[in-house]
Structure 1
Amino acid sequence: MTSPVELAGLRPRVDKALAAFLAEQRTRLTAIDPALAEVSEALEDFVLGGGKRLRPAFAYWGFRGAHGTDSDAVVAAVAALELVQASALIHDDLMDRSDTRRGIPSIHRRFEQRHREASWRGAPASFGESAAVLLGDLALVWSDELLHVSGLGPAELSRARPVFDEMRTEVTVGQYLDVLTQATGDTSLERAGKVARFKAAKYTVERPLLLGAAIAGAPAEVANSYTGFGLPLGEAFQLRDDILGVFGDPSQTGKPAGDDLREGKRTYLIAAAFGSLAEDDRAELDASLGDPNLNVERLRALIRDSGALTATEHRIDELMSASLAALEAAPIDEEARTVLHALADAATRRTV
């Protein structure tokens, strides 16, 4: 069965737009200094080396659903979302001290290793961390540039800009709330839900849909329908991500087993476990979260036996029901409705 991301040739078109843009940036950087070839190569490998391309797909089919006419300019514009995603992932891996991403070294580890192999001065880890901050920032800067040079007309850009800006603000403050929640040890479902909503849900589905609608000049009723569809779906996507962060297969996820537990993530799944465990088990979970030497299988058993895994799966089902009901009622193109339904399934039934 064809992946919904592949329909309309979208994935290769997005990749082509990204590759062309990044090639131009490579020329630009190496003209400044040949040493910047490593920066360019690292970002090309990171952006072009994998990823589900869900965000461009939601934006593109949001555009088509609002009766927008396909063009390479629209594809290039929605491809800019992958640079926002690259920025978020590079910074997220640094903050979480993750060693890998998609089965290869994370950016900070890549540059740490480069420092070590070259026997440069100073601490390799510090160099890698600094490089990751700067490359993540550069990807965010380039996301804005790619949108601007995509080929969209002035009116389309004017409509797209507020959505794009709001999305980048939301994902950044969502990341901060995630860090804050780990620091404070907040285990409430309310805080876990807010982090999920702003760190991932809105910028994974709702804002891309609204970006596509804005480019198409869609009326308010379409935008409102996309929010009704996209927000609960985005939350369901993040809850699936939370489950995979604890129970996922490393050969599928590209990250070590139980990575979210070692990082001390206070997700909806963890909040649900805290709400159901007996006092001793709750204390054990609280003490173990964030410990790099924790017993993954023991914590998995605690979470599973608490009923939190079942409760989170149930919450995903509830969110999906609300999302698909909104999609069914949305005043949009029928082909787009079918593809968006398939994208919703792909986002929440995935194993990576």
Structure 2
Amino acid sequence: MDTTTSQIVQVRELVDRHLARLLDEELGRISFLEGPDVELVREFLVEFVLNGGKRLRPAFAYWGYRAAGGERPAEVLPAACAVELVHAAALLLDDVMDGADSRRGRPAAHVALAALHATSGWRGDAGRFGESAATLLALLAWSWADAALLETGPRLGPALEILTQLRVEAIGGQYLDLACPPGCRSGDERTSTISLYKSGKYTVERPLHLGHAIGGGSLRIRRMLSAYALPLGEAFQLRDDVNGVFGDPVRTGKPVGADLLQGKATYLLAETRRRTGSALLEGITDQRGVAAARELIMECGALEAAEQRIAALVDEAITVLDRPPGIPPEARQALTELAALATARESG
């Protein structure tokens, strides 16, 4: 393990420890609930936050801070935790909106909560309870993100402004995804906007800006971070599309082919349609259809085209890091490694 990789691991450990302390304190705020209800929050929210995810967004926040010249990690850890809590809220809500059955290799929260309702003999509809309870847990995570950010210190104002912008953009991107009309295809202006705001800015650019603000960085550094983040954010979304079709469910934590079954507009599918004109990708309803679509995507070269696009975007992002005014060498190396981590193929 080289020095920078070790630093990335250490950042994750710092974030995990800060999250654990914060969540333990926040559980105290709901002590007015009965014991079983507090345990429900612990199981379906606290454990979900602590026991999963790559911590990509906190890492970008941290290294945005270091790129800005920040040297005291304790200053940026609250913001890093806030971003991760927003991400947890987004995942819980995303699974409800998509009707997803699983997340991170386990039943999605709303599914598990519905099963709990059914076995407990509670009144009302189990499915509705599961979705409603998962939504409330997401709102709680959203609130805890603000509680985390309150520890920021003198730069709380700028940090809150960026975190608010991150959340507004993520919500807007998610809405556009839900409202994407029939025939909506990747490459259209609308789907490009969805990709930019639902994933790219939310994952890379705004977390970097958040750390940069807390570090008191210059406008030139912020612009450089944006120039790095935008192509990397696009590459991240492309990789997510590829992993959604070809990834190992054990590693991605999601069932294979969900995007195909849901008819999502992605670059991978648009490129396949452009090359083949095939209607095979329309109306896929089962794993046989998923398997046939996977074969077509590979045979026509669309998968290779997506891989080449990802590589070109990552190279573009990394090249930006050498532009003046420059950032500390350890931040440059860490952001280079994070670009690779964010776009790694999760195959078996």
TM-score (norm 2): 0.93
Residue among 313, 331, 335 paired with 1:336: 331
Distance between the aligned counterparts of 1:5 and 1:95, measured in 2?
Answer: 37
Kindly tell me: are residues 86 and 304 of structure 1, through their superposed partners in 2, closer, same or farther at Cα, counting changes over 3 Å?
Answer: same
Distance between the aligned counterparts of 1:197 and 1:77, measured in 2?
Answer: 22
CA contact (8 A) 1:5 1:343 kept: no
Query: Which residue of 2 is the match for residue 215 of structure 1?
Result: 214
Query: Which residue of 2 is the match for residue 192 of structure 1?
Result: 191
1:169 counterpart letter in structure 2: V
CA contact (8 A) 2:205 2:229 kept: yes
Matched, 1:73 2:58: no
Query: Which residue of 1 is the match for residue 66 of structure 2?
Result: 64
Matched, 1:172 2:168: no
Which one is further off, 100-109 or 35-44?
Answer: 35-44
CA contact (8 A) 1:29 1:40 kept: no
Residue among 307, 311, 315 paired with 1:317: 311
Query: Which residue of 1 is the match for residue 132 of structure 2?
Result: 130
Paired residues, number: 343
Matched, 1:285 2:281: yes
How far does the alpha carbon of each residue in 1:204-256 deviate from its partner, in whole angstroms, 9 at most, with x for none?
11111111111111111000000000111011011101100001111221222
CA contact (8 A) 1:100 1:106 kept: yes
Task: Flag as ranges the 4+ runs of structure 1 deviating above 4 A.
Answer: none
CA contact (8 A) 2:261 2:283 kept: no
How far does the alpha carbon of each residue in 1:103-157 deviate from its partner, in whole angstroms, 9 at most, with x for none?
1111101211110110222221111011112111221121122111x2x223x11
Distance between the aligned counterparts of 1:326 and 1:6, measured in 2?
Answer: 22
Distance between the aligned counterparts of 2:261 and 2:8, measured in 1?
Answer: 38
TM-score (norm 1): 0.92
CA contact (8 A) 1:55 1:208 kept: yes
1:312 counterpart letter in structure 2: A
Matches within 5 A, 1:286-301: 286-288=282-284, 291-292=285-286, 295-301=289-295
Query: Which residue of 1 is the match for residue 88 of structure 2?
Result: 86
Distance between the aligned counterparts of 1:5 and 1:246, measured in 2?
Answer: 31
Task: Give SS of 1:287's match.
Answer: coil
Shift of 1:5: 7.5
Query: Which residue of 1 is the match for residue 112 of structure 2?
Result: 110
CA contact (8 A) 1:200 1:238 kept: yes
Matched, 1:229 2:224: no
Query: Which residue of 2 is the match for residue 347 of structure 1?
Result: 342
Greater helix share, structure number: 1
2:54 counterpart letter in structure 1: K
Percent of matched pairs sharing the same residue: 44
Task: Give SS of 1:261's match.
Answer: helix
Distance between the aligned counterparts of 2:269 and 2:178, measured in 1?
Answer: 15
CA contact (8 A) 2:200 2:232 kept: yes
Residue among 289, 293, 298 paired with 1:304: 298
Distance between the aligned counterparts of 1:121 and 1:131, measured in 2?
Answer: 14
| Long gaps (5+) in structure 2 | none
Distance between the aligned counterparts of 2:70 and 2:9, measured in 1?
Answer: 14
Shift of 1:303: 2.0
CA contact (8 A) 1:56 1:82 kept: yes
Query: Which residue of 2 is the match for residue 25 of structure 1?
Result: 26
Shift of 1:307: 2.5
| Long gaps (5+) in structure 1 | none
Task: Give SS of 2:194's match.
Answer: helix
Task: Give SS of 2:122's match.
Answer: coil
CA contact (8 A) 2:176 2:194 kept: yes
CA contact (8 A) 2:187 2:267 kept: yes
